[in-house]
Amino acid sequence: MRKLLILLFALVITACSDSYDNYVGYWSQEDKSDIVTITKEDSKTYLLVRNRLASGEKEEFVLEKNANGYFEITIAFFGVGKLPVILSEDGATLRLDNKVYKKIDSSKAKETIQNTTACKQLSSSYLDERQEINYRDEARRSALKETYIVKQQSIPDCDIGSYIFSF
């Protein structure tokens, strides 16, 4: 009898939970170029923050519930439109416009943001130092390039890019 009551209580709690709560968390594109954070502000308000890691831009949206059971965001781009924010049935994949995001934990999100920031700083330092070297001084430019290739390897998922290392 006790087990039956516990089971019934669990079913009632599950039935009363908001399916939109499954959206809450951190989401990353496979190439880690964007991190999306969805938070629940109160019983009716959900917020989406999209960090574009490559450019450093941050976009914030209020998520709107629609009649089909998913969220939408309103955007102003050549007029006003709505983009669907759709969660997969298993809750592991989020679709926003034509982008696909996978759910990650908060520590992975923070690590990705830290690594991207460090990589961007390294890239900026390299460009600053390279600018100070005469373009004809091939030996110094090559030594600088090698130094930064080694430094880049100490930052997970950092690729300053072949365009920076071209002369």
Tell me the per-residue pLDDT of 75-93, one tens digit each, with 9 for 90 and over.
876 667 888 999 999 999 9
Q: Is residue 52 part of a domain?
A: yes
Asked, for residue 160, whether it belongs to a domain, the answer is no
Q: What is the rounded average pLDDT of the residues 59-78?
A: 85
Same domain, 100 and 113: no
Q: Is the pLDDT of residue 14 over 50?
A: no
Q: Is the pLDDT of residue 152 over 90?
A: yes
Same domain, residue pair 123 and 88: no
95 shares its domain with 143: no
Using the structure block, give the residue that is written with the tokens 């009632």. Answer: 12
How many domains are there within the chain?
A: 2
Give the domain range for residue 142.
109-153
Q: Which helix (H) or strand (E) holds 152?
A: helix 138-153
Note whether 100 and 124 are same-domain residues.
no
Q: Is residue 75 part of a domain?
A: yes
In this structure, the answer to whether residues 60 and 133 fall within a common structural domain is: no
Distance CA 93, CA 102 (A): 5
Q: Is residue 164 part of a domain?
A: no
Q: To 5 degrees, how large is the angle CA 107–CA 27–CA 32? A: 85
